[in-house]
Amino acid sequence: MGLVARARKEWFIIGIVLVIACAKLAPSAGAKGGPLRPEITITYVAVSVIFFNSGLSLKTEELASALMHVKLHFFVQTFTLVFFPIAIWLLLKVLALTAINEWLLRGLQTVACMPPPVSSAVILTKAVGGNEAAAIFNSAFGSFLGIVVTPLLLLVFLGSSSSVPFSSIFSQLFMTVVVPLIVGQVCRRFLRECLDRRKPPFGTVSSVVLLMIIYTTFCDTFSNPNIELDHLSLLVVVFILFSIQLSFMALIFFLSTRKSSGFTAADSVAIMFCATHKSLTLGIPMLKIVFEGYEHLSLISVPLLIYHPAQILLGSILVPSIKAWMSGRQKTLTPV
């Protein structure tokens, strides 16, 4: 029974493994031009569904109370969308001298360019008893910023396929990301009472659609005979991702818990999770749009697929320790 309960809890991670396995067994089904027609059903329909769902589920009214905590928001967004990408870019200058697969290294850079997630950082902050309102605001605000900033960062650090013009990328992002988000928010205004009463499984819907996107991405890869992935590179990248996450969490913990920072213990927790976590839900569709036509798209996606479960795993392991630290420190830190 314990195993079944665990499987239910981790169904999304299991789902990622299963869809990649299915893509390996029958790549033609979800490849471009195949029966699933991913160039239409995934590129436009699935991505739009994810962002409409985000717009419908996002409780904008909950963000008002956190709005004025400007210093905290500036710290989180600067760290995650400026410091993080630049630090990884510098690290990759060194790693480029090694034998690690170059497309996996590019994937590390894409992880760095992603905005914070809407869910995992908030869930972990709440579990510890941190500043949940600040976590919600920064996750939501970061997601909105990410619609514009992340594609720009990807183009600056990695470039894009020459066959996809800059204007085309942003027009597609606008139609499949911005418009569905706005429509979702407008619909929420009229359906708020019904949504609050029935509590639809927004997270599950987005996760299922995301699995479809991951499946078709890997179908394209496995149907291309020119792409090979060596397992040593993959293991090294897993180690690097865990190291990056732990190092950045430690750095943020150090910076945000100094008395001169002015942050409370609850603020520090929200900052630590929001600034180091990266969004898979926003990330994979954006990679699909920005790198449309790249034969190595799935290899670029691999580090983000690893980082997502890693951030949840590390966060969950740290919850008891952070809770114990908070109970001892909360009274000694002065609120802003």
Dump pLDDT digits (tens) for 209-268: 878 878 887 787 677 666 666 778 888 988 999 999 999 999 999 998 888 888 888 899
pTM over 0.85: no
Q: Assign 108 a pLDDT band (cuts: 50, 70, 90).
A: very high
Q: Assign 207 a pLDDT band (cuts: 50, 70, 90).
A: confident
pLDDT at 336: 45
Q: Assign 60 a pLDDT band (cuts: 50, 70, 90).
A: low
pLDDT at 162: 42
Query: Six-digit token pair at 191?
Result: 């359906």
Per residue in 299-321, pLDDT (tens digit) is: 888 898 888 778 877 887 888 88
For residue 197, the tally of other CB atoms under 10 A from its CB is 7
Per the CB < 8 A criterion, the answer to whether 84 and 146 are in contact is no
Taking 90 as the threshold, does the pLDDT of residue 38 lie above it? no
Task: Please name the fold of domain 2-328.
Answer: Na+/H+ antiporter like fold (1.20.1530)
User: Mean pLDDT across the stretch 136-150?
Assistant: 80
- Between residues 303 and 331, the one the model is more confident about: 303
pLDDT at 330: 54
Rg (C-alpha) for the chain, rounded Å, is: 20
Taking 90 as the threshold, does the pLDDT of residue 181 lie above it? no
pLDDT at 24: 85
pLDDT at 248: 95
3-state SS, 213-257, equals HHHHHHHHHHCCCCCCCCHHHHHHHHHHHHHHHHHHHHHHHHHHC
Distance CA 289, CA 335 (A): 42
For residue 263, the tally of other CB atoms under 10 A from its CB is 26
pLDDT at 61: 64
